Amino acid sequence: MFKKHFYFLTIGVILLLAACSNTTAQEEDNYPNKPIELIVSYAAGGGTDTGARILQPYLEEELGVSVNIINKPGGAGWVGWADLAKADPDGYTIGYINSPNIITGYLDPKFNRSQSLDSFQPIANHVLDPGVIAIKPNDERFSTIEELVEYAQDNKITATTSGVGSNDHMAILKLNKFYDTNITPVHTKGAAEGSAQVLGDHVDVFVAKVGEAANLHNNGELKAVAVMTEERSPFLEEVPTMEESGYPEVTSRSARGIAAPTGLSEEKLEVLNNAFEKAIKKQQQVEEMEAQGLQVKHLGPEEYESMLKEDESSVKDLSDLLGY
């Protein structure tokens, strides 16, 4: 009798495992078949949120399901990023990760965070926003980046950042480290506060992203004197790069891309990769992004991961100046 019960129990377990395996295979084949949550770790209306909402309908068209944007601001992005990292890697929870902010957030020892790049599966980069240095047009001390650097080598000045460990902050540290400038970072809550500080003569220099400075430059409120990437920005074509001006060590960019929790299956990654590539490269999407001053730069999973690792290496190179 015991052997008979054991036999039927064994058969039952085998059938159950087979059914589970079949269900898993069907889920992979039918993915996605329900709405996907896209976490944005910043408040509605900001640059990351704006880009996400522009991309949303094009992504939904490619995936065939709703993509619901969930704003989770707080902790300099870490409320949303922590939730993303611990989510089920089933492909139904994905989110924007912002570099270098996310990297400085887990490398900073005072936060004692357990997350790292290994906590996330990169899917696609969406936006690459170059750093920019801008001044007041009527500043009598300097009118070019060369004059600014020369002045700051002999005099103390201040410059805005969007927060400790931000790409703006690191750009200032690089100037001080490689070109012996005396620039004191003034941390603000973002570009709106930073530009107001400069326009109100409370801070000397506006260090931000092109997407945050282009309109201010074009309407004459501020004057962009240098872009901090290898190539000139299409939004500020007349503004030279730092490398052109003789300061190749100072680079700065803000990357906004999409990732899943680590553990996402190869099959689901392929589905998401294909959908994001098609959606991001849609000409109408690109034009809508450009109208907001957002530079589209698609990278697939491997290229995006390589860029994130480069950003991590860059942050580590400045760890002593950041106090890590």
Rounded alpha-carbon distances, angstroms, from residue 314 to 81, 242, 319? 21, 17, 9
Segment 102-117 shows an average pLDDT of 94
Tens digits of residue pLDDT in 33-73: 999 999 999 888 878 899 999 999 999 999 999 999 999 98
β-bridge mates for residue 67, sequence order: 36
> Distance between CA atoms of 247 and 225, rounded to whole angstroms?
13
78 pLDDT higher than 80: yes
> Distance between CA atoms of 310 and 58, rounded to whole angstroms?
29
162 pLDDT higher than 90: no
Structural contact between residues 259 and 84, judged by C-beta atoms closer than 8 angstroms:
yes
Q: State residue 23's pLDDT score.
A: 47
> Distance between CA atoms of 58 and 180, rounded to whole angstroms?
47
Rounded alpha-carbon distances, angstroms, from residue 223 to 37, 87, 215, 216, 247? 40, 44, 10, 8, 19
**pTM, entire model:** 0.80
Task: List, in order of start, the domains of the chain with CATH numbers.
Answer: 35-129+254-322 (3.40.190.150), 130-227 (3.40.190.10)
Give the closest residue to 199 by CA, choosing from 130, 139, 131. 139
Q: Where is pLDDT greater, at 22 or 145? A: 145
21 pLDDT higher than 70: no
Tens digits of residue pLDDT in 273-292: 999 999 999 999 999 999 88
Most confident of 17-26, 28-37, 150-159: 150-159
